[in-house]
Amino acid sequence: MTLPRMPSFRLDNRRALVTGAGRGIGLAAAAALAEAGAHVTLAARTATEITEAAAEIRAAGGQAEPLVLDVTNQAAVRAAIEAAPPFDILVNNAGTNRPRTFLDVTEDDYDVIAGLNLRAAFFVAQTVVRKMAAASIKGSVIHVSSQMGHVGGPNRSVYCMTKHGIEGLTKAMAVDLAPLGIRVNSIGPTFIETHLTRPFFQNKDFSDFVLDRIKLGRLGTVEDLMGAIVFLAGDAAALITGSALVVDGGWTAE
């Protein structure tokens, strides 16, 4: 009898691009991919954050370099991707939100959220994948979506709209790119505790609302997402495309 062999979770000799990589989920994704052996390019607008993060990854034995980039500037995105070797992995993470009730959303709110969460995400993916396809790389695209891409929520009409859009983009890209062997999936975190979100949870009503819906009874941490990102990036997920991996503690289970 020949036993089946477990696919490797290693990502050695693969190049990964992570957007919004200076902090929070993006930083965790970069650290996880580097620990699994990938060479990681950390992209964000703030040079100090990604420079420090890349240095920390290298100090820990990984391979990393910073890329100062505003992903809403499509010309800059094209120039940066064209100047770099093709990537095997894209973690399309850069995003934003301005929590506001539907009746109070301004045109500027709409443009900022949709411009980054949808437009920039679309064209970053297209630019990276064009080069990936030209090099015949059977790569992996991971869109950082949200549990709010599967449900609705108060004060998040535009955010929910954009994340539902990312889920549709994930499926459509997966269909288009499957003949090229390029996989496209999304990861949908619940509320993750970071230095940016921590002040929101000082509001007891909001904290109670969130924890009441997360069935496992706690906020997410960036570490909760790291294994999921490495899994979707590599050979262990070789037959998974067009799927949503929801890391939400059970929020969307009912």
Closest CA to 77 of 85, 66, 69: 69
Which pLDDT value is given to residue 199?
86
* DSSP E strand boundaries for 7-56: 15-19, 39-44
What is the set of active-site residues? 159
Query: Residue 68, CB half-sphere, CA atoms under 13 Å: how many?
Result: 6
Q: Which domains does the chain have, with CATH numbers?
A: 69-181 (3.40.50.720)
The span from the CA of 2 to the CA of 4, in Å, is 7
| pTM of the predicted protein model | 0.97
Q: Which helix (H) or strand (E) holds 107?
A: helix 107-114
Closest CA to 93 of 253, 222, 252: 222
- The first and second tokens of residue 217, run together, are 């009874």
How many helices and strands in the chain, by DSSP H and E? 8, 7
Which pLDDT value is given to residue 58?
98
- DSSP secondary structure letter of residue 242: S
CB 38 within 8 A of CB 89: yes
Q: pLDDT tens digits, the chain, 254 residues: what are they?
A: 999 999 999 999 999 999 999 999 999 999 999 999 999 999 999 999 999 999 999 999 999 999 999 999 999 999 999 999 999 999 999 999 999 999 999 999 999 999 999 999 999 999 999 999 999 999 999 999 999 999 999 999 999 999 999 999 999 999 999 999 999 999 999 999 987 788 889 999 999 999 999 999 999 999 999 999 999 999 999 999 999 999 999 999 99
